[in-house]
A and B are shown apart, each in its own frame.
Chain A
Amino acid sequence: MKHLLGIKDLSAEQIEELLTLAERFKEVLARPVKKVPSLRDVTVANVFFENSTRTRLSFELAERRLSADVLNFSAAQSSVKKGETLVDTVQNILAMKVDLVVMRHASAGAPHFLARHIKVPVVNAGDGTHEHPTQALLDAFSIKEKLGSLHGRRVAIIGDILHSRVALSNIFLLTKMGAEVMVCGPPTLIPRYIESLGVKVETDVRRALQWCEVANVLRIQLERQQTKYFPSLREYSLYYGINKQMLDALNRPIVLMHPGPINRGVELTSDAADSGHSIILDQVENGVAVRMAVLYRLAGGGEG
Chain B
Amino acid sequence: MPAERLIASADLLNVQLHRLAHQLVERHGDFSTSVLLGLQTGGAPVAERLQALLTTILGQAPRTGLLDATFHRDDFRRRPLSGPPAANATRIDFALEGQRVILVDDVLFTGRTVRAALDALLTYGRPAAVELLVLIDRRHRRDLPIEATYVGLPIDSLPAEDVQVRWAGRKGADSDGIWLTSH
Residues in A lying within 8 Å of B, measured CB to CB: 1, 17, 20-21, 23-24, 27-28, 31-39, 41-42, 66, 296-297, 299-304
Task: From A37, A41, A297, give the contact of B83 (CB < 8 A).
Answer: A297
Least CB distance, A295 to chain B, in whole angstroms: 10
Q: In the complex, which of the residues B71, B77, B82, B123 contacts A41, with contact meaning CB atoms closer than 8 Å?
A: B77
Contacts of B86 in A (CB 8 A): 17, 20-21
Q: Could you give 6 example pairs across A and B, Cβ below 8 Å?
A: A32-B125, A36-B120, A37-B119, A299-B84, A300-B83, A302-B84
* Residues on the A chain within 8 Å of B87, using CB: 21, 24
Looking at the complex, which one of A20, A33, A302 makes contact with B80 (CB distance below 8 Å)? A302
B94 at the interface (CB under 8 A from A): no
Taking CB atoms and an 8 Å cut-off, the chain B residues in 58-115 that contact chain A are 68, 70-73, 76-77, 79-90
B interface with A by C-beta (< 8 Å): 68, 70-73, 76-77, 79-90, 119-120, 122-125
The reply to whether B123 and A32 contact each other, CB–CB distance below 8 Å, is yes
Whether A42 contacts B77 by the Cβ 8 Å rule is: yes
**B83 adjacent to A33 (CB under 8 Å):** no
Question: Cβ of A37: which chain B residues have Cβ within 8 Å of it?
Answer: 71-72, 119
Q: Which A residues lie within 8 Å of B70 (CB)?
A: 24
Q: Which residue of B lies closest to A1 (CB)?
A: B83
* A162 to B88 CA separation, bound complex (whole angstroms): 40
- Contact for B81 among A20, A36, A297, A303, CB less than 8 A: A303
Asked if B84 contacts A31 (CB within 8 A), the reply is no
Residue of B71, B72, B77, B79 ringed by the most chain A CB atoms within 10 A? B71
Q: Are B68 and A299 touching (Cβ within 8 A)?
A: no
- A300's contact among B68, B77, B119, by CB below 8 Å, is which? B77
A304 contacts B83, C-beta separation under 8 Å: yes
Closest to A24 in B: B87
Contacts of B72 in A (CB 8 A): 36-38
B81 in contact with A299 (CB, 8 Å): no
Question: Cβ of B71 and Cβ of A36 under 8 Å apart?
Answer: yes
**A1 partner residues in chain B, CB cutoff 8 A:** 83
Say yes or no: B84 contacts A33, CB within 8 Å.
no
CB atoms of B81 and A302 under 8 A apart? yes
Task: Report Cα–Cα, A296/B85, bound state, in Å.
Answer: 10
Q: Which residue of B lies closest to A34 (CB)?
A: B123
- A-B pairs, 9 with minimum CB distance: A302-B83, A300-B84, A33-B123, A36-B71, A24-B87, A301-B80, A38-B71, A31-B123, A38-B76
8 Å CB contact of A36 from B79, B85, B88, B123: B123
In the bound complex, how far is the Cα of B72 from the Cα of A41, in angstroms?
13
Given A27-B90, A36-B72, A296-B84, CB of A301 within 8 Å of CB of B124: no
Determine whether the beta carbon of A299 is less than 8 Å from that of B119: no
Separation in Å of the B165 CB from the closest CB of chain A?
A: 24
> Which residues from A are CB-within-8-Å of B79?
300-302
Known: A301-B84, A303-B81, A304-B83. A33 touches B76 (CB 8 A): no
- The answer to whether B71 touches A28, judged by C-beta atoms less than 8 angstroms apart, is yes
**Bound complex: CA of A32 vs CA of B121, how far in Å?**
11
Q: How far is the CA of A151 from the CA of B124 in the complex (A)?
A: 35
Question: Are A302 and B82 within 8 A (Cβ)?
Answer: yes
Inside 8 A of A20's CB, which chain B residues have their CB?
Answer: 86
A38 to B123, CA, bound (A): 14
Return B79 CB to nearest CB of chain A, in Å. 8
Which B residues are CB-close (under 8 A) to A41? 77
B87: min CB distance to chain A, Å: 4
Residues on B with C-beta less than 8 A from A24 are 68, 70-71, 87-90
